[in-house]
Amino acid sequence: MHKLLLTIFIAATLPLAQAKADQSVRIVPEKMSIIIDMDKLTLTLFNGGEPYRQYQVAMGRYESPTPVGNWEVISMETNPPAVMGTRWLGLNIPYGNYGIHGTNAPHSIGSFASHGCIRMFNSDVEELFTLVTVGTPVTIIGTPFGAPGTPPSVLKYGDKGPDVLEVQRSLKRLGYLQWTPDGFWGNGTERAVKKFREDNGLKGSVIVDEQVYKLLGF
């Protein structure tokens, strides 16, 4: 009789124990990818190529544009600094420390307000955090010069980013740059910009300003 009662008790508690165990397991859908649209200020999560979730975001100001391109998640943190809200998803962008994170300034969501990172409401980034993994592809689409409708930033020696990369590509097409553009303004880019300015009768500092942008076709 005792054995029978014990068997019944174990059988009855197994589903409950299994349910608790299942709740503790983080189940991430397969084939997840992210597209962040600068024009729409949205982050869309895709599952197997189909839209799965969409969130409103904030992106980089015109002087600190969010780098466009194809990246991926390389780190995930649950307790980032307070200004980054409650979650951090680091991206493999070579120009600095960029990522997708929460915020302590929720009023900024839906605008160009960050230093280049992608801001989300804390509740949204917490949900996103449960749906992606390290290695999730992230594509950022938009202009390399920052917020649409704003003038490109003045560039100079030591600058880096997608705007520098686009200028280098133009200089290379025109024969002023001899190597593969990398988005970093070093000595070679300095010489190329200086020569370009001289050839076009521009005096003053070696910078990429409004005149240079126009001559390069931007």
* 115 is annotated as an active-site residue: no
* 101 is annotated as an active-site residue: yes
Single-letter amino acid code for the residue at 12? A
β-pairing, 137-141 vs 59-60, is: unpaired
Which of the residues 2, 101, 107, 115 is marked catalytic?
Answer: 101
Q: Which two tokens stand for residue 41?
A: 């200020």
Cα torsion 69, 145, 158, 190 to 10°: value is 100
Which of the residues 2, 107, 115, 117 is marked catalytic?
Answer: 117
Question: What positions carry a catalytic annotation?
Answer: 101, 117
